[in-house]
Amino acid sequence: MRSSKATAFVLALPWIVTFGIFWLFPLLYSFAIGFTDYQLLARDYHWVGLANYVNLFSDPAFLAAIKNTFIFVGGTIPFTTVIALAMALLLNRSFKGRGLFRATYFLPSITSMVVIALIFTNLYSRGGYVACLAQLIGFTPPEYGFLYDRGTALYSIMAMDVWMSVGYYMLIFLAGLKAIPDELYEAAEISGAGRFRQFFSITLPLLRPVMLFILVINSIKSFQVFVEIFVMTKGKFDTATMVYFIYDSGLTTHFSFGYASAAAYVLFVIIGLFSILQFFLLRRRQPLW
Amino acid sequence: MVRPRRFAWLKYTALIAGLTIMVFPLLWMFRVALMDAGAGISLANIASSQFTLDNFADLFTQNNIGQYLFNSIAVGLAVTVGNILFCFMVAYALARYRFLTNRLVFISVVVVLMIPAHIIIIPLYVLTLKAGIYDTYWALILPWLVNPIGIFLVKQYLESVPPSMEEAARMDGAGEFRILFTIVMPLCKPALAVLSIQVFFTNWNSFLFPYILTQSDNVRTLPVALALFQGHQAIDWQHLMAGSAIAVLPVLILFAIVQKQIVSGITAGAIKQ
């Protein structure tokens, strides 16, 4: 069937071309220049071996970026996952007004990240809404606003991020909950299992594939946090994350393409390892909880 | 099934608290956008200041927002049309033809699905510079004309469509491409609707790539303009929030109309595994 093979090839061509030019080539290219001192304005560039990688791990800015990224990922994902699951459980059974709640919870997920970051910049500002709330409950807000303080800037951005992403993961949890057959709960009810027992023995174990999916996509996304940092703090006050570092070293003042590409590959490896780890942890047959 | 209702009030309290927290920042944005441009953003002013549409008018008369809006819409439409056509073609090839090279194509789709896109910002920047498309619409359109999630979505849908109609048409001697576009494509309308909404939204909100691949006002999109608007002088919140409202309103309206498609687009990705 020569002709059908040719047809399939022609049909797949848009992807083959896009993949080659905009994915495979950039990936190989940046891997290669990661071993050079290539800069935008330099006349020529040289092979430097592993120097970029060695320098990265003695660069305080890069180490701080790794630390901030891990704080961001480790501090947002548990909250996002638990709150999203709680919301999904509240909205799982049908009742009057469920659609409205579901839609509103989801609203921030389709709103532009830039817009959300701008709104929260205002809310977090000096004498702004959040500062007033903090004072109301007897907490002294940072003098120049939450985003201008090393102790609060990153955590404020993280809180916003949880706020904005819970709705999305709630929807995925809802889809997962819907797939659990009602008969299981009926049987559990008949044999006298309470609500909590049902949750831990039926709901959680059966949600495991969904949970795995959510953790993996959320960590792939969270390791790449950039827009909110760029808009809200420009990486100041201990908020620079890894993608911010890549952007800052590669596409501002020095345009150090080689150095930034090496940093990108470090991030790539971290994300890859993290995904594999989660995959193995959640793939085990015995319940983890 | 009868369930205990003791905790119903607790449930509604939690739900309404959640609702308040989720909509509050968006309401705040609209309120500030409708305030007098001179007023400071204090709680007292938020409560008492009069409503005005002046900030929106100012954006169109004294700012480039019309241009940014046009850019966002133009790029968004081009990318969406590209994805409808190309994701469909690729998905059809993957769903209906199975042999080794096709498997390789499928693997490349899955791989890209897992690759963190932000790690290619440097090479993509260099590529657009060298190709001479830096700071043009092409840089914002070409890399995104077909996307792995879209291919997945349509492929999944196609696998539930029986090939009998195509086979009948083939018997009648219709050409492959005619079958594809006049018979199969109309059948895929639901999946393509979900796809186009998702692609348009993603593109409309996208910031990082449009930001690094452009530098002039006549190609910059709305989110990029908003993010950089801040930098000029002391922050002019009223106008900034009015601009933000302009960026959000189309999304809110579209969401109200096609909520179902959006939700199914989101969950389709989750169920596939």
pLDDT tops 60 at residue A175: yes
Nearest CA to CA, how far is A26 from chain B (Å)?
5
Fill in the amino acid letter for B199. Answer: V
Which residue, among B118, B142, B197, B237, would best test binding to A if mutated, counting the most A CBs under 10 Å from its CB?
Answer: B118
Tell me what pLDDT residue A142 has. 82
The domain that holds B126 is classified in CATH as 1.10.3720.10
Each residue's pLDDT tens digit, A42-53: 778 888 888 889
What CATH code would you report for A74-240?
1.10.3720.10
Average pLDDT across chain A, whole number: 87
Q: Does residue A265 contact residue A31 with C-beta atoms inside 8 Å?
A: yes
User: At residue A6, does pLDDT exceed 90?
Assistant: no
Domain range for B131 is 54-271
Instruction: For residue B50, give the DSSP letter.
Output: P
Number of domains in chain B: 2
Chain A CB contacts of B27 under 8 Å are none
Domain ranges of chain A: 74-240
Domain contains B2: no
Is the pLDDT at A244 greater than 90, yes or no? yes
- The answer on B116 and B20 residing in a single domain is no
Rounded CA gap, B204 and B219, in Å? 14
Domain presence at residue B65: yes
d(CA B265, CA B259): 10
> Is B121 found in the same domain as B195?
yes
Q: Are residues B87 and B178 in the same domain?
A: yes
The yes-or-no verdict on residue A202 having pLDDT over 70 is yes
The 8-class DSSP code of residue B69 comes to H
Residue B211 belongs to some domain of the structure:
yes
Cα gap B51→B32, rounded to integer Å: 9
What does the pLDDT average to over A136-145?
A: 82
| B151 and B206 assigned to the same domain | yes
Q: Is B119 found in the same domain as B43?
A: no
Same domain as B202, residue B163: yes
Q: Both B66 and B15 in a single domain?
A: no
Give the whole-number percent of chain A exceeding pLDDT 90. 40
Return the residue of A nearest to B30 by Cα: A119
How far is A143 from A127, CA to CA, in rounded Å? 9
User: Which among A11, A93, A114 has the least Cβ separation from residue B89?
Assistant: A11
**Average pLDDT in the A110-133 region?**
88
Given a contact cutoff of 8 angstroms between Cβ atoms, the answer to whether A250 and B122 are in contact is: yes
Region of A41 (left: φ > 0; alpha: ψ -120 to 50; beta: rest) is: alpha
Q: A19 contacts in B (CB within 8 Å)? A: 108-109, 112
* Band of pLDDT at residue A20, cut at 50, 70 and 90: very high
Minimal Cα–Cα distance from A184 to chain B, Å? 13
Q: Write the single-letter amino acid at B160.
A: S
Q: What is the mean pLDDT of each run of 10 residues along chain B (273 residues)?
A: 65 88 92 82 77 84 88 95 94 83 84 86 91 92 92 88 83 83 88 88 91 92 88 73 92 85 67 43
Phi, psi of A277 (to 5 degrees): -60, -50
